[in-house]
Structure 1
Amino acid sequence: MSDIAAAWVISEGLAGLRAQALGLAEAAGLTPELRELKPGAPWKWIAAKFWPNPLAAVADAVRAPRPGIAIGCGGMAGSVLAALRRRSMRVVQVQNPRMDISRFDLIVANRHDELTGPNVFVTRTALHRVTPARLAAEAEIWRHRLERFRRPLVAVLLGGSNGRYRLDREVGARLAAELAAMASRDKVGVVVTPSRRTDPGVTELMRAALTPSDGWVWDFSGENPYFGLLALADLIVVTQDSVSMISEAAATAAPVMFAALPGSSRRQRMFLDGMMREDRIRPFGGRFSTWKVAPMNDTPAAAAEMRHRLGMPGLGMPGLGMPGLGFGG
C-alpha cells in the first residue's frame, strides 16, 4: 500500500474529541481534513449506534471525494467510520466504539476503557497534540510575557462540571483559596487558564483570590496561553474532571498534580490510579511540590502503530521511547 498523505479527522463538535483524532493524524505525518458530524433531525436525537444509514445521517460531512483513511473519536464517529469501512476506506477509531471491534482497522483505547482485541492498541494516556516541538515554540512565544510572574511558576488548568464531577462556585472557591494560600506560603507564581466549560463565576473567584498575590487568570482575550503555560510551568495543577488535560500536562517535563472534585467515576479513578502508580501525577494538597518526572506521551507510539498496521512507510518519528501498552487480547 502506498503512503497516504491525506486523512479525514471525524468527530462531533467537541474540542476534546477532535484534539485526540487530530493529534493522532499529525503524529503520523498525515495531512488532516476536519469533518464535523452534524446530524439533522431525527438522527440528532437518536444514538448513532441505532442509525440505519450513518452516512446519510451526516451526508454533508462525508461527501466525496474521500481520502484513503479516516480517523475518528467518540461514539458517533465510530458508527460513521464503520460505515465508511464498508465503502473501502481504512478507518481508525480513538476510544471504545462500543460496537463490534472487527469493524475497524485499528482502535486506540486508553487502558481505563478495558478494551482488548487483536486490533486494539492500548495507551496509558489520552491522545493529544502536545509535542516537544510545539512546546519549544510556545516557550519562545510566552517566555517574555510570563517573566513578570514569580518563579517557581505553577500553571493551573481548569475544567468544569460534567456528569461525573462538580466544579461549581462552592468548589471553585475552595480551590481558589488553596491556590492563593500556596502562592503566599510557598512563594510561587500562579497562572490560571480556564476552559470553555469553566463556570464564569469560578473564573471570577479565581481572579479575586489570586490578584493580591500577583496571580493571573486568562480572560479569553488575545492569544490562548495554554501551550505556553504547559511549556514553562514548574508545576501543573489540573482539575480531575479532564483525562485529556491531565494527559496533555503529563506530556511535558513538569510534575503534575490533580485537584480533586466532588463526584465519582470508575473509569476516571482507574486512569488516575494508573498514573499515580507510575508517579507521573500526585494529588494536589494545597502546597507546591516537585519530584523527578519524565514526559509521558503515548501519541507517537499509537501513530507509529497506525502507520505499521495500515502499511504506511515510517517517518522516523521521535518520542517512541515512551510506548503505550501495546495490543490487548
Structure 2
Amino acid sequence: MVNVPVATLPSNGKTIPLVGFGTAEYPFNSTGSVKESTLHAIKLGYRHFDTAALYLCEQAFGEAIAEALHLGLIKSRNELFITSKLWLSNAHAHLVIPALQTTLKNLGLEYLDLYLIHYPLSLRPGSDSSLLLKKEDIMKMDFESVWGAMEECQKLGLTKSIGVSNFSCKKLEELLAIAKIPPAVNQVELNPVWRQKKLRKFCEEKGIHITAYSPLGAKGAVWGTNRVMDSEVLQEIAKARGKSVAQLPRDFLQTRAVHRFNQLPRLPAKIQIQNTQYSKTSTKQNNYTASDQPTSQTQPTKITKCSNKKRAEEKGGDDAMNKPVMRKFRRW
C-alpha cells in the first residue's frame, strides 16, 4: 500500500492527506456504486474521502466505512480523513449544527475531520437539494451567523476542522473579516487549464489550504469539460514523458502543494504519488495551453462584474464558484 504524503493545515496544525477520493458522480448517486468503489479505494490505500449532503450517498459511504472496519481493511476510523459539506438550504445559523448531526448519523460517525460550506450563498430552508436552483429560493448568505455556527460545530467536537468550498478571494475576505476561527481549507476547481493563480496566492498568504476538485476536468459532468483530457498539448507532453494525460494534472497539483480528488469513474489501478520535471519546451507548451479561465464552456457571468476580456479571477470575483450554479444566482 502506498503511503500518501500529508500537508499541515496552517490554520490549526492538523494534517490532511494530499490525495483524496471523491464520492460525487453526476447525476448524483445514479449508479449505486459508492459503497463498492469506496471499499476498493481503501484497499488501494486511499485514506482521505470527500462527500457531501448534496451527493445523496452519505449513507452508502458510511456503510463502506463500517464494512472496511469489519473486514479489517482499516483498524480504526482514526485512519481515515473524512470531509463532508453543508448544503445551501441548511446554510442558516439555526440549521448548521442539525445538518452536520444528520450527516454524522448518515455516515455512522461521531465526528468529521473537515466540514465545508459548499457554496457562498444560501437557499430558502426546505428547498430542493439540487444544482438546479430556483431563483425564488436563492438568498444571500449571512456569513457572520452561518460561520459562527460552523465554529460552534468545531468547538463541540463534531468536526476537527472547518472550511469552505467554491469561495473566491472576495468572499474569503468577507469571511475572514468576521471569523474567529479562520477557514482551514478552500476546495475549488483546479487543473492545468483552470489554474486559479490569484486565488492560490491569496490563500497561501492567508494560511488557507487549497483542495482541488475536478483535476481531470470532470468530463461528462454538468460542470465539466473535455479541455483537460482531450488537450493536444497535454497529450504531446504526456507522450514525451511516457505518462498518461491523467497523470499530468496530478503532477501539476502536487507541485503546487494542494491535494486533489480522484472520482468514481476514474479510480486508478493504484495511487500514483510522483513528480514530473518538465523541460523548458514542455513548460512553454503547458503555459500556452493553460489559462486562468474556467474549464466550463460558459464564460464568467455578471456576478464577477467583469467583461470576458478581463477575467473574473483578475478582479477577485466569484470565479471560483461552480459555473452551472453561478448561472442560477448571478445577481448575488
Question: What is the TM-score of this pair, normalised by structure 1?
Answer: 0.31
Question: What is the TM-score of this pair, normalised by structure 2?
Answer: 0.31
